[in-house]
Amino acid sequence: MAKVALEQLNKRYGAVPAVIDVDLAVADNEFVVLVGPSGCGKSTTLRMVAGLEEITSGTIRIGGRVVNGLAPKDRDIAMVFQNYALYQHMTIYDNLAFGLRNRRVPEDTIRREVARAAEILGIGDLLARKPRQLSGGQQQRVALGRCIVRHPQVFLFDEPLSNLDAKLRAQMRIELKRLRERVATTSIYVTHDQVEAMTLGDRVVVMRDGRIQQQASPLEIYSRPANRFVAGFIGAPAMNFVDVTLARKDGRLAAEAEGLRIRVPDEQAAVLERQPAQALALGVRPEHVLIGDPHPENGTGFDAAIEVTEQLGAELLVGVRVAGTIVIASRIDPWAKLALHQKLRLSLDPRGLHFFDRESGEALR
């Protein structure tokens, strides 16, 4: 039985829909990440689970029981906010104890729980200080501590790392993973950062304009995106898209654009033949754009001129002009001698070709 179940969840502000027909089942101890651009409805969904937003229609179940209409304090949840939301004038100890004290938990139990949380999070020597004396990372750990002491059924995270600088964010990501090992709890995590989504989630739920676009494991989302939006949103540098039309040549299916003719691999050709539209978009990730054509028999080679290079130190990114757009190739030897306007022979890895319907954006698999 799912720990958290969202059934046909909808939220409207007046006539404006914010969350549309969301169905999501979170298993016990599963860490689910809701990711998407600003305004996609991920935070609203999370806040409905928390009880901070009213539900327009649909049901939310936590631990099997319907929580629609229950106050946040009665849902057995804990939440970490983007702005930490610590109580500024209380000591860290009191911050952690506040929720327990309000629930009339005896003081010695509180002491035990706070000590345990402090030990797990490494904030034991900060207990007597006030929040403004702590760094951002420390404050966020206290916010996590506030959740742990209560042993709730569900942890909710609302973009908790967005206020931290990049380096600290990377550190906290690792800490969060370590925390999960010690305190495994069903979690729903909201972020706009796809790196956080991929590294933290057992399952990633991509949202856009209020709807779920795809929910799957990180690798599945990466390697088999359900539509063009998911494909372009997940992965950095982003997937390249080229508008192509299908044509037959020598009895084989090819994807064509100006200056480009790519042979469609057999498994995909079978799918593409069956569907009616001829106007498609070809998606290929930068790591699947190769310099040179080591396997000409694949029929995926093409020529192009270099328009831009970006030196990253660990790799070189090269952008070439193909059919009116720039296609980025990554993982190139940083020492390679490549100059602007140099003409190159490139090829695409046939295992990395994705085809999308140009109108609907759906992936054709």
Partner 1 sequence: MAAREMLARLGEKERFALLLIAPAATVLVLFQIVPIVIGANASFRDWQLYNPKETWIGLAHYRYILSDPVFLTVVLPNTFLLMFASVAISLVLGMALAHLLNWNFRGHTLVQTVILLPQMIAPVIAATSMRWTFNDQFGVVAAFLRLVGYGQISWLAERWPSFLIVLFTDVWIWAPWFALILLAALKSLPREPFEAAQIDAAGRWRTFTHVTLPMLRPVIGVCVLIRSIDAFRTFDQVWVLTGGGPARTTEVFSIYAYIETFVNLDFGRGSAAAIVGAVIILIVAWTMYRAVDRLANVSR
Partner 2 sequence: MTAPAIVAQGAPTRIVGVLAPGGRAVLIVLAALAIVLLFLGPILILVVTSLRPGWAVYYIYRGTAFTLQNYLDVFARPAVVRAFVNSFVLATLATVLSLGITVTSGYMLSRFDGPIPRAWFGTIYLFRTVPYISWVLPLYLVDYYFGLYDTFAGILLPHIAVHICFFSWIMKGFFDGIDPSMEHAAMIDGCTRWGAFRRVALPAAIPAIAALAILSWLYTWNEFLFALILTGHDTALITVTMAQFVTELGTAWNLMSAMAVLAMVPAVLVTLFAQKYVIRGLRI
Residue 87 tokens, joined: 């109580």
Residue 53 binding partner 2, by CB under 8 A: yes
**Does 27 sit near partner 2 (CB under 8 A)?**
no
Distances (CA, A) of 282 to 234, 309, 345: 16, 22, 19
Least separation in angstroms between CB 60 and partner 2: 12
Cβ-based burial of 309 (10 A; exposed 0-12, middle 13-18, buried ≥19): middle
CB neighbour list of residue 16: distance below 8 Å, 6 or more residues apart: none
By CB under 8 A, tell whether 12 contacts partner 1: no
How many chain residues bind partner 1 (CB under 8 A)?
A: 25
Task: Write down the residue that tokens 């000409």 correspond to.
Answer: 296
Kindly write down the DSSP assignment for every residue of 190-242, as one continuous string: EES-HHHHHHH-SEEEEEETTEEEEEE-HHHHHHS-SBHHHHHHSSSSPPEEE
Given the structure tokens 């299908």, which residue do they identify? Answer: 246
Phi, psi at residue 55, to the nearest 5°?
-90, 130
Which of partner 1, partner 2, none sits in contact with 90, Cβ below 5 to 8 A by type?
partner 1
The span of 16-24, 72-80, 121-129, 296-304 binding partner 1 (CB under 8 A) equals: 72-80
* Of positions 78, 206, 234, 253, contacts partner 1 by CB under 8 A: 78
| Choices 65-73, 225-233, 250-258, 262-270 (CB under 8 A): range interacting with partner 2 | 65-73
What is the DSSP pairing of strand 203-208 with strand 31-35? parallel
Q: Give the residue with the Cβ less far from partner 2, 37 or 69.
A: 69
Q: How far apart are CA 130 and CA 311, in angstroms?
A: 44
Axis crossing angle, helix 166-182 with helix 107-121, rounded to the nearest 10: 130
**Burial class of residue 123 (count of CB atoms within 10 Å of its CB; 0-12, 13-18, 19+):** buried
Other C-beta atoms within 10 Å of 351: how many?
Answer: 9
Could you tell me which stretch among 48-56, 233-241, 251-259, 270-278 binds partner 2 (CB under 8 A)?
Answer: 48-56
Site for partner 1 in 37-66 (CB under 8 A): 50-52
In the complex, the smallest distance separating the C-beta of residue 343 from partner 1, rounded to whole angstroms, is 56
- Binding status of residue 74 toward partner 2 by CB under 8 A: yes
CB of 186 to partner 1, least distance (A): 16
78 binds, among partner 1, partner 2, none (CB under 5 to 8 A by kind): partner 1
Task: Return the range that interacts with partner 2 (CB under 8 A); candidates 66-74, 158-166, 183-191, 254-262.
Answer: 66-74
Which listed range, 98-106, 116-124, 197-205, 292-300, lies at the site for partner 1 (CB under 8 A)?
98-106
Least Cβ distance, residue 75 to partner 2 (angstroms): 9
User: What's the CA gap between 97 and 99, in Å, rounded?
Assistant: 6
**Residue placing its CB nearer to partner 1 in the complex, 89 or 295:** 89
Chain residues that interact with partner 1, rule: CB under 8 A: 50-52, 71-73, 77-79, 81-90, 98-99, 102-103, 132, 146
The residue ranges that bind partner 2 (CB under 8 A) are 51-54, 69-74
